[in-house]
Protein backbone atom coordinates (compact mmCIF):
# COMPACT_ATOMS: atom_id res chain seq x y z
CA UNK A 1 0.00 0.00 0.00
CA UNK A 2 1.40 3.40 -1.02
CA UNK A 3 2.13 6.04 1.58
CA UNK A 4 -0.05 9.12 1.26
CA UNK A 5 1.35 12.57 0.52
CA UNK A 6 -1.21 15.27 1.22
CA UNK A 7 -0.88 18.24 -1.14
CA UNK A 8 -2.72 21.33 0.11
CA UNK A 9 -3.52 24.31 -2.10
CA UNK A 10 -4.90 27.47 -0.56
CA UNK A 11 -7.06 30.35 -1.73
CA UNK A 12 -7.01 31.48 -5.34
CA UNK A 13 -4.67 28.72 -6.49
CA UNK A 14 -7.61 27.35 -8.47
CA UNK A 15 -7.06 30.40 -10.72
CA UNK A 16 -3.51 29.45 -11.69
CA UNK A 17 -2.96 29.67 -15.42
CA UNK A 18 -5.15 32.79 -15.63
CA UNK A 19 -4.17 34.77 -12.53
CA UNK A 20 -1.05 36.90 -12.86
CA UNK A 21 0.79 34.64 -15.32
CA UNK A 22 3.82 36.94 -15.13
CA UNK A 23 4.15 35.97 -11.44
CA UNK A 24 2.74 32.44 -11.30
CA UNK A 25 3.23 31.15 -14.86
CA UNK A 26 0.67 29.75 -17.28
CA UNK A 27 0.38 26.23 -15.88
CA UNK A 28 -2.86 25.45 -14.10
CA UNK A 29 -3.16 23.96 -10.63
CA UNK A 30 -4.17 20.69 -12.29
CA UNK A 31 -0.88 20.79 -14.26
CA UNK A 32 1.06 21.14 -11.01
CA UNK A 33 -0.89 18.36 -9.32
CA UNK A 34 -0.26 16.04 -12.28
CA UNK A 35 3.48 16.82 -12.12
CA UNK A 36 3.59 16.22 -8.36
CA UNK A 37 1.60 12.99 -8.71
CA UNK A 38 3.92 11.66 -11.41
CA UNK A 39 6.98 12.50 -9.35
CA UNK A 40 5.45 10.95 -6.22
CA UNK A 41 4.71 7.71 -8.07
CA UNK A 42 8.46 7.31 -8.63
CA UNK A 43 8.79 7.04 -4.86
CA UNK A 44 5.75 4.87 -4.29
CA UNK A 45 3.82 7.81 -2.82
CA UNK A 46 0.15 8.50 -3.53
CA UNK A 47 -0.84 12.17 -3.75
CA UNK A 48 -4.11 13.35 -2.26
CA UNK A 49 -4.85 16.91 -3.28
CA UNK A 50 -7.12 19.35 -1.49
CA UNK A 51 -7.68 22.88 -2.79
CA UNK A 52 -9.92 25.29 -0.98
CA UNK A 53 -10.52 28.98 -0.73
CA UNK A 54 -11.69 28.37 2.85
CA UNK A 55 -9.14 28.01 5.64
CA UNK A 56 -11.42 25.67 7.60
CA UNK A 57 -11.37 23.12 4.78
CA UNK A 58 -7.57 23.06 4.80
CA UNK A 59 -7.51 22.74 8.60
CA UNK A 60 -9.92 19.79 8.34
CA UNK A 61 -7.67 18.19 5.70
CA UNK A 62 -4.65 18.49 8.00
CA UNK A 63 -6.64 16.99 10.88
CA UNK A 64 -7.62 14.11 8.60
CA UNK A 65 -3.98 13.54 7.67
CA UNK A 66 -2.90 12.95 11.26
CA UNK A 67 -1.87 9.33 11.71
CA UNK A 68 -2.70 8.60 8.07
CA UNK A 69 -0.55 10.66 5.68
CA UNK A 70 3.22 10.30 5.61
CA UNK A 71 3.85 13.97 4.80
CA UNK A 72 2.24 17.24 3.77
CA UNK A 73 3.20 19.70 1.04
CA UNK A 74 1.38 22.98 1.52
CA UNK A 75 1.05 25.94 -0.81
CA UNK A 76 -1.17 28.00 1.45
CA UNK A 77 -1.47 30.99 -0.87
CA UNK A 78 -2.37 34.15 1.07
CA UNK A 79 -3.10 32.04 4.17
CA UNK A 80 0.68 31.75 4.44
CA UNK A 81 0.70 35.23 5.92
CA UNK A 82 -2.25 35.18 8.30
CA UNK A 83 -3.69 31.64 8.58
CA UNK A 84 -3.06 30.99 12.25
CA UNK A 85 -5.59 28.18 12.47
CA UNK A 86 -3.76 26.46 9.60
CA UNK A 87 -0.50 27.05 11.48
CA UNK A 88 -1.97 25.41 14.59
CA UNK A 89 -3.30 22.42 12.63
CA UNK A 90 0.07 21.89 10.96
CA UNK A 91 1.81 22.19 14.34
CA UNK A 92 -0.32 19.26 15.57
CA UNK A 93 0.69 17.11 12.59
CA UNK A 94 3.50 14.64 13.32
CA UNK A 95 5.12 14.14 9.90
CA UNK A 96 7.29 16.20 7.56
CA UNK A 97 5.76 19.41 6.20
CA UNK A 98 7.15 21.17 3.14
CA UNK A 99 6.00 24.74 2.55
CA UNK A 100 5.82 25.57 -1.15
CA UNK A 101 5.48 28.78 -3.17
CA UNK A 102 5.63 29.25 -6.93
CA UNK A 103 7.09 32.73 -6.54
CA UNK A 104 9.60 33.93 -3.97
CA UNK A 105 7.57 35.83 -1.35
CA UNK A 106 10.68 37.65 -0.14
CA UNK A 107 11.01 39.31 -3.55
CA UNK A 108 7.44 40.59 -3.46
CA UNK A 109 5.36 42.98 -1.37
CA UNK A 110 6.50 43.41 2.25
CA UNK A 111 3.31 41.86 3.66
CA UNK A 112 4.29 38.60 1.94
CA UNK A 113 7.62 38.41 3.75
CA UNK A 114 6.19 36.85 6.92
CA UNK A 115 4.97 33.26 6.89
CA UNK A 116 2.95 31.73 9.71
CA UNK A 117 3.51 28.34 8.07
CA UNK A 118 7.33 28.43 8.11
CA UNK A 119 7.69 28.05 11.90
CA UNK A 120 5.94 24.68 11.74
CA UNK A 121 7.30 23.51 8.37
CA UNK A 122 10.25 21.17 8.06
CA UNK A 123 11.47 23.12 5.04
CA UNK A 124 10.58 25.70 2.41
CA UNK A 125 10.75 25.68 -1.39
CA UNK A 126 10.01 28.96 -3.14
CA UNK A 127 10.70 30.82 -6.33
CA UNK A 128 11.12 27.85 -8.69
CA UNK A 129 7.74 28.12 -10.38
CA UNK A 130 6.09 24.84 -11.28
CA UNK A 131 9.35 22.96 -10.78
CA UNK A 132 8.85 23.59 -7.07
CA UNK A 133 6.15 20.93 -6.94
CA UNK A 134 8.60 18.27 -8.11
CA UNK A 135 11.26 19.61 -5.74
CA UNK A 136 8.79 19.43 -2.86
CA UNK A 137 8.02 15.78 -3.60
CA UNK A 138 11.75 15.03 -3.82
CA UNK A 139 12.23 16.73 -0.45
CA UNK A 140 9.43 14.67 1.10
CA UNK A 141 10.96 11.45 -0.22
CA UNK A 142 14.34 12.45 1.20
CA UNK A 143 12.80 13.30 4.57
CA UNK A 144 10.99 9.95 4.63
CA UNK A 145 14.12 8.05 3.56
CA UNK A 146 12.51 6.81 0.34
CA UNK A 147 14.54 6.17 -2.78
CA UNK A 148 13.21 5.91 -6.33
CA UNK A 149 11.05 2.80 -6.57
Distance (Å, whole) CA 14 – CA 7: 13
Question: Rounded CA gap, 149 and 131, in Å?
Answer: 21
Q: State yes or no: is 93 an active-site residue.
A: no
Of 24, 43, 93, 133, the catalytic one is 24
Long-range contacts, 93-96 (Cβ 8 Å, 24+): 93/62, 93/65, 93/66, 94/66, 94/67, 95/65, 95/69, 95/70, 95/71, 96/70, 96/71, 96/72, 96/122, 96/140, 96/143, 96/144
Residue from 32, 87, 101, 133 carrying the catalytic annotation = 101
24 is catalytic: yes
State the catalytic residues.
Answer: 24, 101
Amino acid sequence: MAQVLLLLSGPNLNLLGDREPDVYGTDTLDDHVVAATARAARYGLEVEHVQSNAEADLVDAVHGARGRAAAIVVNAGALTHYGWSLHDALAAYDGPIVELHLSNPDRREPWRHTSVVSPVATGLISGFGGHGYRLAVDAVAELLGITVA
